[in-house]
Amino acid sequence: MSGLARGIDTRAHRATLGTGTVAVLAGGHDRVYPSENEPLLHKIVEEGGAIVSEMPFAWEPRGRDFPRRNRIVSGLSYGVVVVEAARRSGSLITARFALEQGREVFAVPGSPLDPRAEGTNDLIREGATLCAGVEHVTSVLEPLIAAGPRLDSRAEEPSHPAGAEELWDELDLPDIGRAPVGQVAPDEAFAQGGNDAATDLIGLLGPSPIAIDDLVRQSGLPIRMVQMILLELEVAGRLERHGGNAVSLIAGR
């Protein structure tokens, strides 16, 4: 299970062709990124694997589609292994999705002098399972697989309060009418910048950490919308995460 990206994603898919692998795309099924992996996509299907995307055909993936795609990667998995990650790596966003979904998180340690290992070392300090060999993953996941699928009490159930738009409307697709509701979808709200919901939430943030639960209470916004706006801020490099589920704005960004 991975995102068909260059590097370790490609190697993971190729290594598991014989046992079944799933690639989750950020764009439509006919818009493979990177394009050089299109033959690998066809090979995955031929070998009995699956290609998954929530986007419609002909959808060109945008930068913000990739972090959102990764919540599907983590949600379909029993666990997520972060092999290498800088402190602001997109892999850390995937790890946080996994934690919110009640999945296991593993991290490969690295030298404290290597900036590419800062993110994985931070994850281990925060409680992720240290992964120095395949047995460290299999020993944790084997009992979960044997027990079969279950609803994890740690996972957050998605909520759709009255007036909130569904994910389909968040895609702002051409030639498709929007749902007749008053709120603007979270990622579109951030993209427009002047949207009241995003502006109000950003106004509650500062250099001092604040708990996400407090942001939800003070803003009065649905938690799903708050999380999406925070994700957009993080992808833009404007948000820093802290222990205790707290966040802060990065000064000067």
d(CA 161, CA 164): 6
CATH class of 8-147: alpha beta
Same fold across 8-147 and 167-249: no
The confidence band for 253, taking pLDDT boundaries of 50, 70 and 90, is low
pLDDT tens, 2-44? 999 888 899 999 999 999 999 999 999 999 999 999 999 999 9
pLDDT tens, 69-81? 999 999 999 999 9
The confidence band for 178, taking pLDDT boundaries of 50, 70 and 90, is very low
d(CA 174, CA 41): 27
Q: What does the domain layout of the chain look like in residue ranges?
A: 8-147, 167-249
Domain covering 167-249 assigned CATH 1.10.10.10 in the classification: yes
pLDDT for 92 equals 87
β-pairing verdict for 246-249 and 239-242:
antiparallel
The confidence band for 152, taking pLDDT boundaries of 50, 70 and 90, is low
d(CA 85, CA 89): 5
- The residue type found at 147 is A
Residue 55 has a CB neighbour count (10 Å cut-off) of 19
Residue 133 scores a pLDDT above 70: yes
